[in-house]
Structure 1
C-alpha cells in the first residue's frame, strides 16, 4: 500500500487534574489536553496490599492511563480514524510519600495533615512517583511503558505553630505527602536528592525515558516556539 510519507501528529493527553503537573509540562514545551481518569484509587490500593511501594505507585499510574485510554476509545468508537491516524500520547502519574516503610498519599483533612507533618519533620522520606505512558493510534494501544522515580526529601524541623499555620492554608490537603515544592511547602523542605520535577508531580527525565521506550522523541512533542 502506498503511503504519503506524512509524519503522524502527536496529541498529548495528561491523565491528571493536577494544576502543578499541567504547569510543569507547559513550561517544558508541551500543551497537553487534560482528561481526568476518575480512577477509584482506594479500590486499586486494596488490590495492591503487600506489593512493593515502587510497584504500588506504578500500578496506580497505569490504572489512570488505562482509564483515560478507555475514555478516548469510547469517544472515538464509530468513527473512521483512517490509515494515517494521529498518535495520541497519554501520560499519567501518581505520587506517594514513603516514610519508615509506610506509604501516604493526600491527607484530605487538616487532622491527618498535621499528624503526618509531625511524623516527618526533621527527618527524610522518599517521594515515589509512578509514571505511565500509552500511545494510542485510532482505537488501539500500540505501545506503553511504565516506571517509578524516587526522590529523597529532607523535611525541616518545623514547629507545631508552623505546621498548623501551613495546614490552615489548605495547600497540603490535596497533594501527595501533604507538601509542595512549588508553593508554601517549600519553606519547610531543607533539601532534596533527586529530580525536582518529580516532587512537583511529574518527572520530566522519567517521562523522556518512557517516551524513548515507546519510540517517540520528546522534541517531537514540543510546541512551535518552545
Structure 2
C-alpha cells in the first residue's frame, strides 16, 4: 500500500524511516489559524486531532490509493495551547516562561485509507507526553534562538535536536514529543486491520 505522510516535518519523517517505513511526503494547505478559530471551546486534544484530520483529509483527496498519516503537535502549558513561535522574541518569552517547569506535548494523529479515490476508513486519536524543562541561561537561550531551530517546532523546543540539552526529562512516549507517536499509530493502524510490520516491506521502494 502506498504510504503518505501529510506533514512537512523532517522529524516525523525521520521517526517513521527509523521505524522501517519510507513514506512519500505530501504537504497540505490547511489554514490552521482559521480552523482553530472556529473551535474556541474545544479541548487541546480536540484541536490538534482536528488539525491532523484536516491535513490528512486534504492530502487524501488528491490520491487514488494510499494510506495517509496526518499529525499536528502543540504544547499545552499554563492552560494555553501554543504551536510554532511567530518570532525569536516570542520563542524567547516562551522559554523564559517554561524554564524549570512542565508542559504537555499534545499530538493529534489521523490515519486515512484511500481506495479508488475515496476515503474508505478513518482512525483518529491523540497522545500526550509530559515534558520537564530545564533552566537554560540567558546566553544559552540566545544561542539556541540563533540556530533557528525553536522557530520551526511546536513549543519552541525539540527533544531530538539542539533543544534536547534543555529538557530534563519526559513522562510518556518520546516519539510523540518528536512529532509522531509510534505506539498510537500502531493502534490506529490496528483499528483498520493493518499492522506496521506489513508496511516494513510494502512501504519501501
Report deviation, 1:94.
0.2
| Larger Rg computed on CA atoms | 1
Q: State the TM-score, normalized to the length of structure 2.
A: 0.96
Where do 1:9-158 residues align within 5 Å?
10-72=1-63, 76=64, 87-158=65-136
Distance in 2, Cα, partners of 1:109 & 1:92: 25
Q: Deviation digits for residues 69-120 of structure 1, max 9, x if unmatched? A: 1222xxx5xxxxxxxxxx5110000000000110000003101100011010
Counterpart secondary structure, 2:28? coil
Is contact 2:61-2:117 (8 Å) kept?
Answer: no
Distance in 1, Cα, partners of 2:86 & 2:183: 29
Counterpart position of 1:160: 138
Q: State the TM-score, normalized to the length of structure 1.
A: 0.87
Distance in 2, Cα, partners of 1:187 & 1:45: 31
Moved over 4 A (4+): none
Distance in 1, Cα, partners of 2:7 & 2:190: 22
Is contact 1:129-1:148 (8 Å) kept?
Answer: yes
Counterpart secondary structure, 2:163? helix
Counterpart secondary structure, 1:146? strand
Distance in 2, Cα, partners of 1:223 & 1:130: 26
Corresponding pairs, count: 204
Counterpart position of 1:220: 198
Is contact 1:94-1:130 (8 Å) kept?
Answer: yes
What is the aligned-residue RMSD (CA, Å)?
Answer: 1.4
Counterpart secondary structure, 1:37? coil
Counterpart position of 1:186: 164
Report deviation, 1:14.
0.1
Distance in 1, Cα, partners of 2:31 & 2:62: 15
Structure 1 unaligned runs (5+)?
1-9, 77-86
